[in-house]
Structure 1
Amino acid sequence: MSMKIYDMVTERIINQLEKGIVPWRRPWKIGTAVNWKTQKSYRGINTLLLEPGEYASFKQVTEAGGKVKKGEKGHIVVFWTWLEKEDENGEMTKIPYLRYYTVFEVSKQCEGLQSKRNEQSFKHDLIEEAERICEGYKNAPLVRFSSGRAFYVPAQDYISVPPICDYEKPEEYYSTLFHEHMHSTGHSNRLNRQGITEIAAFGSETYSKEELVAEIGAAMLCSFAGIDNSTIDNSVAYIGGWLRKLRSDNKMIIQAAGQAQKGVDHILGVKFDEGG
């Protein structure tokens, strides 16, 4: 059973990555997935498997007097439990065992249940220098605000990020916004970067390099804005984890850094050396 769960979890994460979504890069605090009944946030791998919202099991839904809409497919939630097993010496030992159950998103997949969510947003002052950088980005893509996820859509040339009130620290908002702005510099009407203009498969060098370009560029922009950031450390955590090639290919990192600098120069309105 455990291998089946691993396969389901892996497939779900790969599907997100293929859509251009890096599921574990979520510095915002509001817009997370919670258990509808307890209002506790899901933890661990479940934060990658579930979109923002309130979730309940079929039993929880029916016990509360609601029902799951016909034809709706549930989402898996995994958890560890302990099994007792007799070892070679005849002694009983406990071993971890991975299990799963199915949940449904209350607002979209269920009827007869009311939301229990009462999230309070964070209040921040805008960071003047970071705002100046964004405002100075000529021919910038449209920026939309929606809780729960951050992404750039090249075909429609727009960015979507959670609003600043969703973040515990305003620096994390600008780091996220800068990351998506960096992706947008690769659009065919800007720097025409391969990682954006071409369809790149998950795990490919092109796909991975584009993520590294965006992360390095975001760190550079945060530096220009004078705000603390951990984007490079985060890169190791979420890129290095699924692309071992980066650990041994120094040339790739150097090339990505060069492209990141061009992207930053474009956002800042600085002319760069085409041959650099």
Structure 2
Amino acid sequence: MSEKIYEMITNKMIELLEKGAVPWRRPWKVGGAVNWKTQKPYRGINTLLLEPGEYATFKQISEAGGKVKKGEKSEIVVFWTWLDKEDKDGEKVKIPFLRYYKVFEINRQCEGLQSKRKDEIFDHDPIEVASRICEEYQNAPPVRYASGRAFYRPADDIVSVPPICDYSKPEEYYSTLFHEHVHSTGHESRLNRSGITELAAFGDESYSKEELVAEIGAAMLCGVAGIDNSTMENSAAYVASWLRKLKDDKKLVVQAAGQAQKAADHILGISFQDTASE
């Protein structure tokens, strides 16, 4: 039964990719890095540079009557601006110029300032089938809950996800947790997948392929749990963003789906012998 679901999910994923999708996936609604003064979320590479929190420059902190704690180190925020230049023909042109400034997290690194954050907290009941899939994942890594960031850390063999109350839809919480659980199946003590066991830089080919495996595997588990209709478009958008790094090779989706199926089966406790006898 699960193999049919896997096939349906893979085909649906490819269909959505053919239609085009908006990249990046961050379904939780609270807990990211924001500018303390404006409460606007940081975007682009800054979402990876900064831990969740509220950030302000030294000047903003001082002008607001606060102070940076002794010994605290700043973080860097980068942004692009445009400079007016003249080309060789004397025509005015605009050229991009990368700038950065230093910021401090006002709740952890500062004194005398109050948080301006007004995050909405969502009250959800667990989805029984999806919860059971996670609970029955044998030899699973421990799960820690922290707003604003989801990851699997192979060195410590731990999963971290924002808690369910940070999502407007509980289905997206389980999709996120499934994604990180699929990553964890690559640990050397489980399926020993190269995308996890070999050190890879963010965005390189090995990392990108592993992200395809994790998201397609998560989509498959959502299908088994019966919640794929609420998460599929988000999943396809995320897969599309990594496919572009891999030159839009749709064959990679099928290849990744094969590894994703093994990961999903591992989480579900289905052995190769079980699937071969169906």
TM-score, normalised with respect to structure 1: 0.77
Describe the superposition over 1:26-67 as per-residue Cα deviations: whole angstroms up to 9, x where unpaired. Answer: 221111112222333334543343221111111111112222
Describe the superposition over 1:155-190 as per-residue Cα deviations: whole angstroms up to 9, x where unpaired. Answer: 332211100101122121111100011111122332
Tell me the residue number matched to 1:154: 154
TM-score, normalised with respect to structure 2: 0.76
Q: Give yes or no for contact 2:67–2:111 (8 Å, CA) kept in 1.
A: yes
How far apart, CA to CA, are the structure 2 residues paired with 1:196 and 1:98?
33
The structure-2 alpha-carbon separation of the partners of 1:61 and 1:92, relative to structure 1 and needing over 3 Å to count, comes to same
Aligned pairs (5 A) from 1:1-276: 25-79=25-79, 81=81, 83=83, 98-227=98-227, 228-229=230-231, 230-237=234-241, 239-244=242-247, 247-248=248-249, 250=251, 252-272=252-272
- Which structure 2 residue ranges, 5 or more long, are not aligned? 1-23
How far apart, CA to CA, are the structure 1 residues paired with 2:188 and 2:48?
31
Tell me the residue number matched to 1:3: none
Q: Tell me which moved more, 50-59 or 126-135.
A: 126-135
Q: Deviation of residue 85 (structure 1)?
A: 5.5
The structure-2 alpha-carbon separation of the partners of 1:215 and 1:83, relative to structure 1 and needing over 3 Å to count, comes to same
Q: Give yes or no for contact 1:66–1:110 (8 Å, CA) kept in 2.
A: yes
Q: Deviation of residue 86 (structure 1)?
A: 6.3
Q: Give yes or no for contact 2:208–2:245 (8 Å, CA) kept in 1.
A: no
How far apart, CA to CA, are the structure 1 residues paired with 2:134 and 2:99?
46
Q: Give yes or no for contact 1:58–1:103 (8 Å, CA) kept in 2.
A: yes
Q: Supply the AA of the counterpart residue of 1:232.
A: A
Q: Tell me which moved more, 122-131 or 80-89.
A: 80-89
Structure 1: 4+ residue segments shifted above 6 A: 86-96
Q: Deviation of residue 99 (structure 1)?
A: 3.9
Q: Give yes or no for contact 1:55–1:105 (8 Å, CA) kept in 2.
A: yes
Cα RMSD of the aligned pairs, angstroms, is 2.9
Q: Aligned to 1:65, what secondary structure does the other structure show?
A: coil
- Which structure 1 residue ranges, 5 or more long, are not aligned? 1-23
Q: Aligned to 2:243, what secondary structure does the other structure show?
A: coil
Q: Aligned to 1:39, what secondary structure does the other structure show?
A: coil
How far apart, CA to CA, are the structure 1 residues paired with 2:60 and 2:137?
49
Q: Supply the AA of the counterpart residue of 1:189.
A: S
Q: In percent, how many aligned pairs have the same letter? A: 70
Q: Give yes or no for contact 2:36–2:56 (8 Å, CA) kept in 1.
A: yes
Q: Supply the AA of the counterpart residue of 1:233.
A: A
Q: Tell me which moved more, 180-189 or 68-77.
A: 68-77
How far apart, CA to CA, are the structure 1 residues paired with 2:192 and 2:92?
62
